[in-house]
Amino acid sequence: MFVRVSHMNAKDGQEDRLVELLNQLSTFYREQGGYLGGYILSPYPSAPTDARRFGRVGAWETQDAAEDAAQHSRALALRSELTRIVEEDSHHEFSFSARSDTP
């Protein structure tokens, strides 16, 4: 399994739009081959202002499936819009090979 984790900070006043775009990305990814599921990440209610990160986690059957979906014009357009509403240098993505922790 291939897992991609992204997190970012919204520009002031862009929090709702950021969550909307993350939801749109998830909706698109659910329609793509090899997508296993994911999560939208939002700050916990008492998070300090400087730690109010948003993000998403996506699980894929393979890295190729994730890369193919990420290069689709719809995903590229949504991700481009994300870059306009997040704080500069706050968007980070990490990729992992994953396995279940249950025997």
Q: For residue range 82-101, what is the model confidence (pLDDT) as tens digits?
A: 999 999 999 999 999 999 99
Rounded Cα distance between 37 and 59, Å, is 5
Rounded Cα distance between 58 and 29, Å, is 9
Give the model's pLDDT for residue 31.
Answer: 97
Structure tokens at 62: 């393979």
Domain range 1-56+87-103, CATH class: alpha beta
Phi then psi for residue 100, to 5 deg, are -65, 145
User: Is residue 36 packed enough to be buried (19+ CB in 10 Å), middle (13-18) or exposed (0-12)?
Assistant: middle
Residue 15 has pLDDT above 80, yes or no: yes
DSSP 8-state assignment for residue 86: B
DSSP 8-state assignment for residue 9: E
In whole numbers, what is the pLDDT of the chain averaged over residues? 94
User: Is residue 78 packed enough to be buried (19+ CB in 10 Å), middle (13-18) or exposed (0-12)?
Assistant: middle
Domain boundaries, the chain: 1-56+87-103
Residue 25 has pLDDT above 90, yes or no: yes
Give the model's pLDDT for residue 47.
Answer: 79
- Interval 26-73: pLDDT, tens: 999 999 999 999 999 998 888 777 778 999 999 999 999 999 999 999
Rounded Cα distance between 25 and 52, Å, is 20
